[in-house]
Structure 1
Amino acid sequence: MWHFHGKYWIFKRLFLKQVKCVYPFRLMRPDDANIVGNVHGGTILKMIEEAGCIIGTRHCNTQPGDRCVAALARVERTDFLYPMFIGEVAHVSAEITYASKHSVEVQVNVMSENILTGSKKLTNKAALWYVPFSIQNLEKIIKVPPIKYASAEEEAEGKRRYEAQKMERLETKERNGELSRPVPAPDRTTKEPHTVGFSQSSLIHLVGPSDCTLLGFVHGGVTMKLMDEVAGIVAARHCKTNIVTASVDAINFHRKIKKGCVVTVSGQMTFTSNKSMEIEVFVDADPLIETEEGKYRAVTAFFTYISLDKEGKPLPVPPLKLEGEEEQKRFEEGKERYLQNKTKRLAGIERKQ
């Protein structure tokens, strides 16, 4: 057994390829789930990131020279296909599918297993991008060892994904700026239910050693777990029902968060459809010691939740009451993302048929 961040992990290493060799699995316990037994989306995101970090770091250290640790730069859209429950076993598999000069793409699949019946199902698929940083010099990015592709077409498709995510990261950073306005505390005394102000939420967390990599900056999985927790609070306050994570749009890690920072994770409702809610979540970091650096925007993402009844069936979502032009603008932007994702999902179903 390998003791990993206070959790006991058993690793089964299948060296079929140098770039496909990490298979962690773990039993889901009560502290992994919400009050009705669904495993938190943040718990699953954390497992996905840990698997990606392991395989990315392992691959980037297969060459002579500086030792390095792979740091998470971006998570592509992640769909939560099925819920996972207490007592089920999570299996996480990871594979490096593209390597640029200074980054690697890791594809991760999550399977849940009912150990009483032996049945398994795919619950999550995700693509993550990592950048290797030198252990000796945090500002130095290490060159990534190349990988072998099955065909020239596979390599070309990987390069297309690399260029697309690079452009989207730059656009997201430009849209959000270095530091957006903070989300105020929810005002449930003067704000009406189902307004943005009624459900908006924030969480403050001091980054300690257990949150960090060997290089002293926060694990991406830790950050994503905090983000999912805040987004879940926003969704629950809006619906007053059981809620689960349905999907996460691209999570962009703009800057590293170091040990000793105070992070503020904020979330607010941006859009609702008949059966889903979109919550924008961002993370601001404030160094306690290196105060000359000042507070900065570190991570941004959009989380989508659905509301469930006691039998786990989807419930209608209360419409979002908008106040002012800014909220209306953000609602229209969220609606556009919703329609785009719906079109992609339907196109994927048609291709399978």
Structure 2
Amino acid sequence: MHCFRPSSSKPADEVDRSETAAMVEKRQAIQSQQGRGDVSPQQDSKYELSRIMRPDDANIVGNVHGGTILKMIEEAGCIVGTRHCNTQNGDRCMAALVRVEKTEFLLPVFIGEVAHVTAEITYTSKHSLEVQVKVMAENILTGAKKLANKAALWYVPCSLKNVEKIMDVPPIKYASAEQEEMGRQRYEVQKLERLETKARIDEVVPLPPNPEQHTVAFSQSSLIHLVGPSDCTIDNYVHGGVTMKLMDEVAGIVAARHCSTNIVTASVDAINFHRKIIKGCVVTVTGRLTFVSNKSMEIEVLVDASSPMEAGKEKYRAVSAFFTFISLDKDNKPLLVPPLKIVREEEQRRFEEGNARYIQSKAKRLAEKERQQ
């Protein structure tokens, strides 16, 4: 293998030493400035990954699974967050996902299209950062592109030496004071909602024998998964994207059982990560219908984890979220959804809460549409 070396009057080893020393000195100066907050690491605040969608990413009619998109979104967010948080001096750290805001699946992605996932840090607090993500789907045969998905994720940097230690987040520069203030408001809202969600954790009710069709019990489903090395980050905790993909799979099974048709993910309400899941744990992912409108289904998905190596330790709630699915015909047009039959008192309570979320979400979409017009 041949190398090209620039000409110099100095001996080769002397040139190497001087260039290396200069590079080290420059890097140390930049790190020193970043540690003092003199330089904002804007070059580390944006990241893009792209991948062609394969048959194993999609359902039988070619629609890419929502869980596949969610996993790619989290991967991009984790990379940009981890890169940004390691631009300062101190312990090396990994950005851990703690919350995903409402995620809209605007248009379907199909086999053969390329998904371009762009993640950008849009707000930083002392110990957390917000990453806004957009997914563009490209038809590489025609060059046509479409906005398929957008989401907002919140991360905290955990030290690799001690994962319980939350590191400081380097600040970013904002285009305006208004932009920073809007970010601060989003931060306060998500912080409050995370606390509220943690306070109202419901248990999973065992299924009755031979449940009637179109009841909650009829479609309720669970997946059990042993967390292996390929599911984890370098600090042996599960990737948030792996968990979200499992959640989407369970929600899809629930929706398909209720409708007996082709179904796709329409949106995901806030996903809250309550506790970490470590390598070797067994996770139980359960989905159950909470609300059904004429053309959509809200499915609550709960992730419980336990360690088979530690006898006597009970399961704990690790993640929770609400997924919304729609039923489609062979031409990808929305179909009417069978009504949900309510049997128990707690099902009625969850149905009314889901209806309130549905009305609120619908009002937000209409307000956004009017604002854009």
Q: Report TM bin, short chain.
A: over 0.9
Distance 2:238 2:336 in 1: 37
Deviates more, 1:138-147 or 1:46-55: 138-147
Aligned residue for 1:175?
A: 200
The answer to whether the aligner puts 1:266 opposite 2:286 as a matched pair is yes
Aligned residue for 1:13?
A: none
Question: In the alignment, which of 197, 204, 212 is matched to residue 192 of structure 1?
Answer: 212
Aligned residue for 2:97?
A: 72
**Aligned-partner SS, 1:283:** strand
**Cα–Cα, structure 1 residues 36 and 183, in superposed 2: closer, same or farther, change >3 Å?**
farther
The answer to whether the aligner puts 1:18 opposite 2:43 as a matched pair is yes
Question: In the alignment, which of 31, 50, 61 is matched to residue 56 of structure 2?
Answer: 31
Question: In the alignment, which of 141, 147, 171 is matched to residue 172 of structure 2?
Answer: 147
Distance 2:69 2:97 in 1: 16
Aligned residue for 1:219?
A: 239
* Contact kept? 1:39, 1:86, Cα under 8 Å: yes
Distance 1:21 1:252 in 2: 24
Distance 2:337 2:212 in 1: 16
1:294 Cα deviation after fit: 2.7
Alignment of structure 1 residues 245-256 onto 2, 5 Å: 245-256=265-276
**Aligned-partner SS, 1:18:** helix
* Contact kept? 1:183, 1:200, Cα under 8 Å: no
* Contact kept? 1:246, 1:306, Cα under 8 Å: yes
**Cα–Cα, structure 1 residues 186 and 231, in superposed 2: closer, same or farther, change >3 Å?**
farther
Distance 1:155 1:218 in 2: 31
Aligned residue for 2:111?
A: 86
**Cα–Cα, structure 1 residues 72 and 266, in superposed 2: closer, same or farther, change >3 Å?**
same
* Contact kept? 1:185, 1:201, Cα under 8 Å: no
Distance 1:76 1:43 in 2: 17
Higher strand share: 1
**Aligned-partner SS, 2:169:** coil
Whichever residue aligns with residue 252 of structure 1, its letter is: N
Aligned residue for 2:148?
A: 123
Aligned residue for 2:340?
A: 320
Distance 1:324 1:24 in 2: 46
Aligned residue for 1:241?
A: 261
Aligned residue for 2:359?
A: 339
* Contact kept? 2:45, 2:84, Cα under 8 Å: no
Q: Structure 2 length as normaliser, TM-score?
A: 0.88
Distance 1:337 1:51 in 2: 29
Whichever residue aligns with residue 46 of structure 2, its letter is: C
Question: In the alignment, which of 198, 218, 222 is matched to residue 202 of structure 1?
Answer: 222
Distance 2:312 2:180 in 1: 43
Whichever residue aligns with residue 127 of structure 1, its letter is: A
Aligned residue for 1:285?
A: 305
Deviates more, 1:281-290 or 1:313-322: 281-290
1:85 Cα deviation after fit: 0.3
Moved over 4 A (4+): none
Whichever residue aligns with residue 301 of structure 2, its letter is: V
Distance 1:173 1:87 in 2: 40
Question: In the alignment, which of 132, 139, 149 is matched to residue 107 of structure 1?
Answer: 132
Higher Rg: 2
**Aligned-partner SS, 1:126:** strand
1:186 Cα deviation after fit: 7.7
State the aligned residue count: 333
* Contact kept? 2:132, 2:151, Cα under 8 Å: yes
Question: Taking every aligned residue pair, what percent have the same amino acid on both sides?
Answer: 74
Distance 2:327 2:305 in 1: 31
Aligned residue for 1:56?
A: 81
1:293 Cα deviation after fit: 4.3
**Aligned-partner SS, 1:107:** strand
Distance 1:22 1:97 in 2: 12
Distance 1:345 1:266 in 2: 28
Please give the root-mean-square deviation of Cα atoms over the aligned residues, in Å: 1.2
Higher helix share: 2
1:289 Cα deviation after fit: 2.2
**Aligned-partner SS, 2:132:** strand
Aligned residue for 2:331?
A: 311
